Chains A and B, each alone.
Chain A
Amino acid sequence: MSAPKTLYDKIWDAHVVSEDDDGTCLLYIDRHLVHEVTSPQAFEGLRMAGRKVHAPDKTIAVPDHNVPTTEGRETHIENEESRIQVEALDRNAREFGVHYYPVTDIRQGIVHIVGPEQGWTLPGMTVVCGDSHTATHGAFGALAHGIGTSEVEHVLATQTLIQKKSKNMKVEITGRLRPGVTAKDITLAVIGKTGTAGGTGYVIEYCGEAIRSLSMEGRMTVCNMAIEGGARAGLIAPDETTFEYVKGRPHAPKAAQWEAAVNWWKTLFTDEGAHFDKVVTLRGEDIEPVVTWGTSPEDVLPITATVPAPEDFHGGKIEAARRSLEYMDLKPGTRLTDIRIDAVFIGSCTNGRIEDLRAAAEILRGRKVAEGVRAMIVPGSGLVRMQAEEEGLAQIFIEAGCEWRLAGCSMCLAMNPDQLAPGERCASTSNRNFEGRQGRNGRTHLVSPAMAAAAAVTGHLTDVRELVA
Chain B
Amino acid sequence: MDKFTQLTGIAAPMPLVNIDTDMIIPKQFLKTIKRSGLGVHAFDEMRYDDNGAEKPDFVLNKPQYRKAEIIVAGDNFGCGSSREHAPWALADFGIKAVISTSFADIFYNNCFKNGMLPIRLPQEQVDILMKDAERGANARMTIDLEKEEITTSDGEVIRFDIDPFKKHCLLNGLDDIGLTMKKAPKIDSYEQALAQSRPWV
**Within the complex, which residue of B27, B176, B200 is in contact with A261, where a contact is CB–CB below 8 Å?**
B200
Q: Is the CB of B165 within 8 A of A154?
A: no
The proximity string for A residues 148-168 relative to B, scoring 1 for CB distances below 8 Å and 0 otherwise, is 111101100111101010000
Please tell me which one of the listed residues B50, B114, B187, B198 contacts residue A264 in the complex, with CB atoms under 8 A apart: B198
Question: Contact: A131 with B82, CB < 8 Å?
Answer: yes
B62 to chain A, nearest CB (A): 18
Interface residues contributed by chain B, number (CB under 8 Å):
56
CB pair A316 B15 closer than 8 Å: yes
Q: Taking A131-B81, A150-B110, A154-B180 as contacts, is the C-beta distance between A415 and B31 under 8 angstroms? A: yes
A316 touches B16 (CB 8 A): yes
State whether A415 touches B27 (Cβ < 8 A): yes
A437 contacts the other chain (CB 8 A) = yes
Q: Which of A180-221 contact B (CB under 8 A)?
A: 196-197, 200-201
Could you tell me the distance between the alpha carbons of A263 and B113 in the complex, rounded to whole angstroms? 39
In angstroms, Cα B152 to Cα A382, docked, is 56
What 1/0 flags go to B94-115 for Cβ under 8 Å of A? 0000000011111001100110
What CA separation (Å) do A149 and B85 show in the bound complex? 9
Which of B17-25, B53-61, B64-72, B131-139 binds A?
A: B17-25
- Given B33, B102, B179, which contacts A41 in the complex, CB threshold below 8 Å? B33
Residue of A nearest to B45 (CB): A436
Q: Which of A44, A124, A414 contacts B33 (CB 8 A)?
A: A44
Q: Which residues of A contact B74 (CB under 8 A)?
A: 316, 320
Q: Is A413 an interface residue (CB 8 A)?
A: yes
5 closest A-B pairs by CB:
A150-B113, A253-B200, A81-B31, A146-B82, A40-B33
Residues of B within 8 A of A (CB): 15-18, 20, 22-23, 26-28, 30-35, 45, 50, 74-76, 79-84, 87, 102-106, 109-110, 113-114, 163-165, 176-177, 179-181, 183-184, 186-187, 190-191, 194, 198-201
Beyond the given A122-B201, A197-B75, A415-B31, could you list 5 further A-B residue pairs with CB under 8 A, ordered by the A residue number? A37-B30, A132-B81, A197-B18, A200-B105, A436-B26
Q: Which residues of A contact B (CB under 8 A)?
A: 17-18, 20, 22, 24, 26, 28, 30, 37-38, 40-41, 44, 49, 51, 54, 58, 65-66, 79, 81-82, 84-85, 88, 122, 124-125, 130-132, 134, 145-151, 153-154, 157-160, 162, 164, 196-197, 200-201, 230, 232, 252-253, 257-258, 260-261, 264, 296, 298, 315-317, 319-320, 323, 413-415, 422, 432, 434-437, 440-441
